[in-house]
Amino acid sequence: MSSALRFLIVDDFSTMRRIVRNLLKESGYTEADEAEDGVVALNKLRNGKFDFVVSDINMPNMNGFQLLTEIKKDDTLKHLPVLMVTAEARKEDIVAAAQGGAAGYIVKPFTKATLEEKVALILKKMGL
Amino acid sequence: MQAEDQDAVAPGAAGPIHNQIGLLTRQLHNALNELGYADQLRGSMGELPDAQSRLSYIARLTGEAAEKVLSRVEQAKAQHDYIASETRRVVASLVADPVAAVAKGEIFNFLTDVERVTKEADTHLTEIMMAQDFHDLTGQVIARVVNLAATIEQQLVQLLIQTAPPQAAPQPPAEPRREHLQGPVVNPESTPDVVTSQSQVDDLLASLGF
């Protein structure tokens, strides 16, 4: 269990943020904060310490792709793994996310096992 | 037109009425063409079947979520009833003869049941929580349908402004912002270039070397 890791969950729907937060908690990741769009997320990332970002794509103000780009061009944030959790199921979006530096991609609706597996896989690749 | 409606038209009057309708249709068609709205309105009308399938998607998703939640609640309640009844039975057994209750394994079996049911209850609660994801998915679809309705409304308002007398004409509203992202795929069978399962996502990423 990696209970010390701190997650940032980014989604414009509070229901989905709560679902992801509870699932992470069930998997032993108890430290998490939430943001309703990319702008709020970026602000929290720049003013706090986080180890992992779980982000939706389709959001107002700043979408998940834009957030990913901002994270990857920021020297202080670019090391953060970003797992996209989204309803966008088009191949071009998945390819764009991978090429933009996303660490993983989950299509909604998803299962607890899928989230658990992807988070564990990403953390393993990072040596955490 | 229904047969009875056609019958209601007085003999000999159908010709002039048909001509009048034809004239009105031609005038509307020409007016839309001159104002440059024909294509825009045609485009919006073309999106209506998509809106219908999106609304069907919402109905299906909310229905499935309700079924899932009710099913899990029914299972959890049955298990809860079982534990409640077993608790009463084991307590009565303990009061009657504590030594026998332990010796016969009643207490041990009861505690094993409690542990199993607790674990299953946790699974039910997780599934009930996961079923709430319909809020996010349907919310995105509703937003797109509302956007379509707003587009049609905006085009009709512009048409109204164009045809209003000069002194009554307000400023035209700004063009609505079009979203690039599509949201959930409501009919994956007829949509090329989309994935329909998480394993397809994983395969695609693997093919890209990720």
Residue B22 has pLDDT above 90, yes or no: no
Select the residue of B195, B196, B210 nearest A98 (Cβ to Cβ).
B210
In chain A, where the domains are located: 6-122
Q: How confident is the model at residue B178 (pLDDT cuts 50, 70, 90)?
A: very low
* Model pLDDT, residue A40: 98
A106 in reach of chain B (CB within 8 A): yes
The predicted model gives B31-43 an average pLDDT of 64
* The CATH fold of domain A6-122: Rossmann fold (3.40.50)
pTM: 0.72
Mean pLDDT, chain B, whole residue set: 79
B59 in reach of chain A (CB within 8 A): no
Instruction: Return the higher-pLDDT residue of B40 and B160.
Output: B160
Share of chain B above pLDDT 90, in %: 35
Q: Which CATH number fits domain B16-161: 1.10.287.500, 1.10.10.350, 3.40.1440.10, 3.20.20.370?
A: 1.10.287.500
Cis status, amide bond into A109, omega within 30 of 0 = yes
> Which residue on chain B is closest to A103 by alpha carbon?
B210
The contacts of residue B132 (CB under 8 Å, 6+ apart) are A15, A19, B65
Residue B71 has pLDDT above 90, yes or no: yes
* Model pLDDT, residue B29: 66
- For B145-186, give the DSSP string: HHHHHHHHHHHHHHHHHHHS-GGGPPPPPPPPPPPS---S-S
* Contact list, B193 vs chain A (CB under 8 Å): 90-92
**How far is it, in rounded angstroms, from Cα B164 to Cα B44?**
23
- Residues shown for chain A: 128
B196 in reach of chain A (CB within 8 A): yes
Angle between helices B38-96 and B14-35 (to 10 degrees): 90
Residue B43 has pLDDT above 90, yes or no: no
> Which residue on chain A is closest to B207 by alpha carbon?
A95
Contact between A83 and A106 under an 8 Å Cβ cutoff? The reply is yes
* Model pLDDT, residue B4: 43
Q: How confident is the model at residue B170 (pLDDT cuts 50, 70, 90)?
A: low
The counts of H helices and E strands in chain A are: 5, 5
**How far is it, in rounded angstroms, from Cα B121 to Cα B76?**
6
> Which amino acid appears at position A14 of this protein?
S
